[in-house]
């Protein structure tokens, strides 16, 4: 009875939503474990396109349970809006969504502090999604956060909201000369959302334990990716949560012994949104072509994504840290038109070779990618469902990625639809998933 995590190996937006959606049928519960509505999972089913920001994409599958774990940060008004939108599309939450009582709440002061702090950073800004994610996790670590369970204790909630608003207003005025926030209106709006959220709130760690005891299988849906991970990413240009497979455990309360496999998702090229080093970024016409063909615009903010070539050291690092022995390669069809496809196999920094990603982000920022060029296939791969039907050069390209990253390629996505996917029969991860 295998439990599995689906995690990003680059800088997010690898197409994890599609892989989760595809594998959902083999699982009973889909759990989000970190991040918040900074994430954006686009799932296309027939003519309908869904962009989910906070609710696990498993909700689109009737009969599957979804959990928002303790490691997620929740903007309560945003969550209720997303639920209402999905309900208007005919998606039912009845008995299918549980929200951890230990998850932290994103409140208006988090967004205000983030906006002021980002503006103050000028050229050094992180380029966040302005959703209040970082400041909410800051409060969590500072032990002043407000959690979902607090919503149901008006006196506790009142005390915490007023104390926090006082501190934030002092900070906003002293450091950023920004306008103060009104504690009473924040408290009132929280009281208004509390009743609506209550039916969904539970001790999800205990619920998951019982579910596993009853033989239910769990799929952990990662948001962002390892290179945006607070510990392992390109710090400080990262998000503020544990986006790796370790986060799946701390962010849900599921023990390490109960995670049996990890699929790392990697685009056949690379993209990044926001600031920070991105050695294989291509700023010329080829980059523009990748953006146009891959429709590379942020699902949460609409910002154009920075585009570049596949970075082997980045994905190899991800494979190691995530324990992702199997990769799902997405958007291979975006490369269909290129005559030659460069792959970054290492970096050059001040006359020396770097084989692995350096911890020093400022070194990575100056490192030059060392490329090996591979022939393109210049034929459409859209919708191909068998590896043998791929043009030979595309098969060779995938083989190179597999060898260099030291990971098995278990799936290849050849278009946005569920059925536009190559699934490598007999791959060890699929055997694991199908194991009863």
In the complex, the smallest distance separating the C-beta of residue 239 from ligand IMP, rounded to whole angstroms, is: 3
Kindly tell me the number of DSSP H helices and DSSP E strands found in the chain: 13, 20
Task: List the Cα angle 50/52/53 in 5-degree steps.
Answer: 150
Q: Which range touches ligand IMP (CB under 6 A), out of 131-139, 171-179, 214-222, 327-335?
A: 131-139
Q: Of 164, 224, 245, 420, which one interacts with ligand IMP (CB under 6 A)? A: 224
- Residue 61 is among the residues annotated as catalytic for this protein: no
Cβ of residue 57: shortest distance to ligand IMP, in angstroms?
13
Distance CA 436, CA 430 (A): 12
Assess contact for 225 and 10: CB atoms under 8 A: yes
Catalytic residue among 37, 41, 61, 227: 41
Q: Exactly one of 13, 21, 150, 229 binds ligand IMP (CB under 6 A); which one?
A: 13
Q: Strand 421-423 vs strand 340-349: parallel, antiparallel, or unpaired?
A: unpaired
Closest separation between CB of residue 15 and ligand IMP, Å? 11
Distances (CA, A) of 140 to 27, 104, 159, 208, 241: 31, 7, 17, 23, 11
Q: Name, in order, each residue with C-beta under 8 angstroms of 318's C-beta and a sequence gap of 6 or more.
A: 7, 8, 9, 10, 225, 226, 227, 264, 266, 324
- The piece of 75-83, 166-174, 237-245, 401-409 that touches ligand IMP (CB under 6 A) is 237-245
Residues 6+ away with beta carbon under 8 Å from 160: 144, 146, 150
Encoded one letter per residue, x for contact with ligand IMP by CB under 6 A and - for no contact, window 108-127 reads ------------------xx
Count CA atoms within 13 Å of residue 417 on its CB side. 8
Q: Residues 275-314 vs ligand IMP: string with x where CB under 6 A?
A: x---------------------------------------
If one asks whether residue 104 binds ligand IMP (CB under 6 A), the answer comes out as: no
**Is 336 annotated as catalytic?**
no
Given 13, 28, 139, 333, the catalytic residue: 13
Cβ atoms of residues 106 and 75 within 8 Å:
yes
Q: Is 34 in the site for ligand IMP (CB under 6 A)?
A: no
Residue among 146, 166, 165 at smallest CA distance from 156: 146
Please tell me whether residue 128 binds ligand IMP under the rule CB under 6 A: yes
Q: Nearest residue to ligand IMP, using CB?
A: 274
Going by their DSSP bridges, the two strands 4-8 and 261-267 should be labelled as parallel
d(CA 275, CA 272): 8
Indicate whether 55 belongs to the interface with ligand IMP (CB under 6 A): no
In the complex, the smallest distance separating the C-beta of residue 144 from ligand IMP, rounded to whole angstroms, is: 19
Annotated active-site positions, please?
13, 41
Residues that bind ligand IMP (CB under 6 A): 12-13, 38-40, 126-129, 131, 133-134, 223-224, 228, 237, 239-240, 273-275
């Amino acid at each position: 009875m295998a439990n599995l995590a689906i995690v990003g190996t680059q800088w997010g937006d690898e197409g994890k939503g599609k892989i989760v959606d595809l594998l959902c049928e083999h699982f009973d519960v889909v759990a989000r474990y970190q991040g918040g509505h900074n994430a954006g999972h686009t799932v296309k089913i027939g003519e309908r396109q869904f962009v989910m920001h906070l609710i696990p994409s498993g909700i689109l599958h009737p009969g599957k349970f979804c959990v928002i774990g303790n490691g997620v940060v929740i903007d309560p008004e945003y969550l209720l809006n997303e639920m209402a939108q999905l309900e208007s599309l005919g998606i039912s939450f009845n008995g299918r969504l549980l929200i951890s009582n230990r998850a932290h709440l994103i409140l208006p002061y988090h967004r205000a502090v983030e906006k002021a702090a980002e503006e103050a950073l000028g050229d050094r800004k992180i380029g966040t999604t302005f959703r209040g994610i970082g400041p909410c996790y800051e409060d969590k670590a500072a032990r002043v956060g407000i959690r979902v369970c607090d919503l149901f204790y008006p006196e506790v909630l009142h005390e915490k909201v007023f104390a926090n608003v006082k501190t934030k207003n002092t900070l906003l005025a002293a450091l950023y000369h920004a306008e103060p926030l009104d504690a009473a209106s924040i408290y009132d709006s929280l009281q208004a959302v509390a009743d609506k959220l209550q039916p969904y709130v539970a001790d999800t760690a205990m619920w998951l334990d019982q579910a596993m005891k009853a033989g239910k299988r769990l799929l952990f849906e990662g948001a962002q990716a390892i290179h945006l991970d607070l510990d392992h990413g390109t710090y400080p240009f990262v998000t503020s949560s544990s986006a790796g497979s370790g986060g799946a455990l701390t962010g849900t309360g599921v023990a390490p012994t109960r995670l049996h496999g990890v699929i790392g998702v990697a685009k056949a090229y690379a993209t990044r949104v926001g600031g920070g080093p991105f050695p294989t970024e291509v700023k010329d016409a080829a980059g523009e072509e990748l953006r146009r063909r891959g429709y590379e615009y942020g699902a949460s903010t609409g910002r154009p994504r920075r585009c570049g070539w596949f970075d082997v050291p980045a994905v190899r690092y991800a494979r190691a840290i995530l324990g992702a022995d199997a990769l799902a390669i997405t958007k291979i069809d975006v490369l269909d038109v290129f005559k030659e496809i460069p792959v970054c196999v290492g970096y050059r920094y001040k006359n020396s070779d770097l084989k692995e990603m350096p911890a020093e982000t400022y070194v990575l920022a100056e490192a030059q990618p060392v490329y090996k060029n591979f022939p393109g296939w210049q034929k459409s791969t859209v919708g191909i469902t068998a590896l043998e039907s791929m043009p030979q050069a595309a098969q060779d390209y995938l083989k190179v990625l597999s060898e260099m990253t030291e990971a098995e390629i278990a799936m290849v996505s050849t278009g946005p639809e569920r059925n536009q996917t190559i699934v490598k029969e007999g791959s060890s991860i699929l055997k694991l998933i199908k194991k009863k």
